[in-house]
Amino acid sequence: MKNLIFTFLAWVVSAMVSASVFAETPALKPIDQYYAHASASEWAEALPIIRSLVEADPSMPSRWFQYGTCLEALELYPGAISAFKSAYELDSTDYGAQYRIFKNYALAGDTAGFVAFAREEVLKTPHIVELIAQRQEFQEITSSDAYQQFLSQL
């Protein structure tokens, strides 16, 4: 009888361990799902996840930045500009967001938007024109008549 009880207990413990080993892993948190898709450059899959996180808490600049990154990767430049502007408005020291705003204006070929943003930013950061001039990806816009006119007004 003692042997039978011991065997039964061993079977129960074994079944419990097996069940826990083969149990499904818990679902990833939404932000972890976003990172998994983003790191695999699966931007279309990442987009609805990060959009829902932004909608759930629009006060987080990092979420807006991630949303902008996703939109940029999908070549949705106007949306990316808007998202990066939201990040920058929430954290005015996020010069990465500032750069991405300029970058997405350039990617969109939006010279007027680029110049308008430069006009705003030069008031806060006077040396921004030198920083812009150093960036190869801005060369087409910075050589435009509209940008040159902006510079002549400084």
Q: What is the pLDDT of residues 62-113, one digit of tens each?
A: 999 999 999 999 999 999 999 999 999 999 999 999 999 999 999 999 999 9
Structure tokens at 8: 């039964």
Residues 41 and 94 occupy one common structural domain: yes
Q: Is residue 6 part of a domain?
A: no
pLDDT surpasses 80 at 19: no
Residues 121 and 83 occupy one common structural domain: no
Q: Which of 74, 136, 51 shows the shortest CA–CA distance to 102?
A: 136
The torsion of the CA quartet 42, 99, 89, 45, rounded to 10 degrees, works out to: 0
Residues 97 and 33 occupy one common structural domain: yes
Summarize the confidence of residues 128-139 as an average pLDDT. 95
Q: Is residue 12 part of a domain?
A: no
Entry pTM: 0.81
Q: Is residue 4 part of a domain?
A: no
Which residues, at least 6 apart from 131, have a Cβ–Cβ distance to it below 8 Å? none
Q: Looking at residue 32, what is its pLDDT? A: 94
Q: Is residue 70 part of a domain?
A: yes
Q: Looking at residue 2, what is its pLDDT? A: 52
Q: Is residue 101 part of a domain?
A: yes
Residues 90 and 132 occupy one common structural domain: no
Residues 62 and 103 occupy one common structural domain: yes
Q: Which domain holds residue 150?
A: 111-154
pLDDT surpasses 60 at 1: no
Q: Which of 91, 92, 54, 94 shows the shortest CA–CA distance to 71?
A: 54
Instruction: State which of 108, 124, 146 marks the end of a domain.
Output: 108
**Amino acid type, 8:** F
Summarize the confidence of residues 33-48 as an average pLDDT. 96
Q: Which residue has the tokens 């930013």?
A: 121
pLDDT surpasses 80 at 28: yes
Mean pLDDT of the chain: 88
Residues 90 and 55 occupy one common structural domain: yes
pLDDT surpasses 60 at 17: no
Residues 86 and 115 occupy one common structural domain: no
- Overall domain count for the chain: 2
Residues 97 and 132 occupy one common structural domain: no
Q: Is residue 11 part of a domain?
A: no
Q: Which of 80, 79, 70, 62 shows the shortest CA–CA distance to 37?
A: 70
Residues 33 and 104 occupy one common structural domain: yes
State the CATH number of the domain containing residue 104: 1.25.40.10
Residues 136 and 151 occupy one common structural domain: yes
**Comparison of pLDDT for 110 and 20, the residue scoring more:** 110
* % residues pLDDT > 70 (the chain): 83
Residue 7 has, within 13 A of its CA and on its CB side, a CA count of 4
Residues 37 and 104 occupy one common structural domain: yes
pLDDT surpasses 60 at 10: no
